[in-house]
Structure 1
Amino acid sequence: MSVSRDVWSDLWLLRQPWTEPPGDPLAVSELSEAERSRADAFHRAHDRLLYLTAHIALRRLLASYLGIAPREVDLVREPCPGCGEPHGRPAVAGDPPPLHYSLSHSSGLALFGVAAVPIGVDVEKVPSGETVQLCLPALHQAEQSELEESGPEERRSEFARLWTRKEAYLKGIGTGLARDLGKDYLGESGGAVNDPPGWTVRNVPCGSSHVNHVAAAALSVDDARPARIGWLPADFLFAGSVPDLELVRGA
């Protein structure tokens, strides 16, 4: 992932717990009332836990950048590029926003992007061959052709890399999957990703895990330099811990 010299971007990864961690409780009180209500609406305890840990980490992370308490972070939705209603890209309140962010989590791994310009991130586990075949017809024709040249096993990982690039970009522009998946070509020609105009889209390393994950980030800038990538510690989630601001600001 890369940005221009005068634009910064950071990517943070978090391994989410599969069960409620022992000892100190999660910092649920730092969430908004709406976030706590949404968490309580999940029927499965594990789904509730994944939502809570992702959003606790997000609030603490943004608060560390902004120099405020997590409960003071004012999260809003920008207007949808298609209809203008307030269900577009999630953002920190402000005109202009003091920073931009994106969140994705899948099968116990969360990815956070924080940047000076609009950003989108996505992390997924490598899908089954059946899922690839089901989704393939929705992609850009050139993307379909590239994937069909690969063998079944290679196709799964290449599809995952492509899908995360595409979803990161669509989250970055604020449409999400409501946009036609065949409209934008984000394939790889000559070993290089085809970047949409005004954007840099790259797959990013996300470490080893019990699940084979693939990740990508999209940044609304053309020129490039490497972004910072780091891991958040597990105690970043606990009510009894104080997030290390230097971890975020000085990494």
Structure 2
Amino acid sequence: MGTSLTPSRGTGADDTLDVRVWALPVPPPSAALDPGVLDEEERRRAAAFVRDEDRHLYGFAHIALRTVLAALTGIAPGALRFDRAPCPCCDGPHGRPVLRSAAAPEFSLSHTRGLVVIGVAPVPVGVDAEPLPKAGTAEELAKVLHPAERQEVEAASPQDRPAVFARLWARKEAYLKGLGTGLGRDLDADDVRGPLPGWHLTDLAVGPGHAAAVAVASPAPYEVRVHRGLPG
């Protein structure tokens, strides 16, 4: 890690955004976690999971997010309060999650089997992590993608299709989360194989079995600093 956790935006023409990502393996249920930092809504959502492993994954992801944001803002993890930005599709209060604190960084959270990914930036950001699906699942779900993306999946060898599809799906979900639309935007509307207007997408190396990506609202290049552990 660097000496400072605070994301910053450069002011010169050649400066780049400081984008930070935490790629965290999910610890075993026996690991010491402090669920007391979660708010009432988070505890309610955690309790609603039927499977213990899903409850543990959700709890760890949200405790990790609070730990990261506390280190960035200086606010205690349990004192952080969240709102929702307006939805770009309907202007309803269910867009990107945001911190209530003044001058707070933008952030995004993704969790899937065995992995939690957190992205933080001074501009809107989205992250997503996906497990590699079975080949048949990849071929079936590819039908809802942009035609160019679908063609890329179909052109891959059968053994490579799960990885190709998972990479595209992670990039698409990261972009839609950054926009704040989620799946309210048509999945075939955007070709995420490269940059999109006003956005850059970057693949993240998170180990075998998963694909992950970060999308940042910036037409300029940026550095991605990847951390493998929580702030101390």
CA contact (8 A) 2:18 2:223 kept: no
| 1:108-141 Cα distance to aligned partner (Å, 9 max, x none) | 1000001111000001111111211221111111
Query: Equivalent residue for 1:213?
Result: 210
Please tell me whether residue 175 in structure 1 is matched to residue 181 in structure 2.
yes
One-letter amino acid of the counterpart of residue 206, structure 1: V
From 109, 131, 135, the equivalent of 1:125 is 131
Following the alignment from structure 1 to structure 2, what is the Cα–Cα distance between the partners of residues 227 and 60? Answer: 19
Deviations 1:180-199 (A, max 9, x none): 00000112xxxxxx211000
> Identical aligned pairs, as a percentage?
43
Question: Secondary structure of the equivalent of 1:152?
Answer: coil
Deviations 1:68-92 (A, max 9, x none): 1001111111111111111111111
TM-score (norm 1): 0.83
TM-score by length of 2: 0.90
Counterpart residue number, 2:88: 81
1:21 maps to 30
Determine helix, strand or coil for the equivalent of 2:219: coil
Kindly indicate whether the alpha-carbon contact (under 8 Å) linking 2:139 and 2:153 is maintained by their aligned counterparts in 1.
Answer: no
What are the residue-to-residue correspondences of 1:66-145 with 2, within 5 Å? 66-94=73-101, 97-145=103-151
Name the residue aligned to 2:3: none
Confirm or deny: 8 A CA contact 2:23 2:229 kept in the other structure: yes
Deviation at 1:226, TM superposition (A): 2.0
Give the match's secondary structure for 1:153: coil
Which letter does structure 1 place at the counterpart of 2:90? C
**Residue aligned with 2:223, SS:** coil
Letter of the structure 2 residue corresponding to residue 204 of structure 1: L
1:31 paired residue number: 38
Q: Check the 8 A contact 2:110/2:117 in 1, yes or no.
A: yes
For the aligned residue pairs, the C-alpha RMSD in angstroms reads 1.6
Per-residue deviation, 1:94? 4.4
What amino acid sits opposite 2:95 in the alignment? G
1:6 Cα deviation (Å)?
Answer: 4.8
Whether the 8 Å contact between 2:16 and 2:221 is mirrored in structure 1 is no
Letter in 1 for 2:81: D
Cα deviation, residue 16, structure 1 = 0.8
Secondary structure of 1:76's counterpart equals strand
Quote the Cα distance in structure 2 between the aligned partners of 1:142 and 1:156: 16
Distance 1:94 1:6, change over 3 A: farther
Matching residue's letter, 2:216: L
Whether the 8 Å CA contact 2:35–2:59 is kept in 1: the answer is yes
Contact 2:127/2:173 (CA < 8 Å) preserved in 1? yes
- Cα deviation digits, residues 32-55 of structure 1 (max 9, x gap): 111111111111111111110000
When the two structures are aligned, how many residues end up with a matched partner? Answer: 220
| Inter-partner Cα distance in structure 1 for 2:40 and 2:153 | 44
Report 1 or 2 for greater relative contact order, CA contacts < 8 Å, sequence distance ≥ 6: 1
Which one-letter code corresponds to 1:9 in the other structure? V
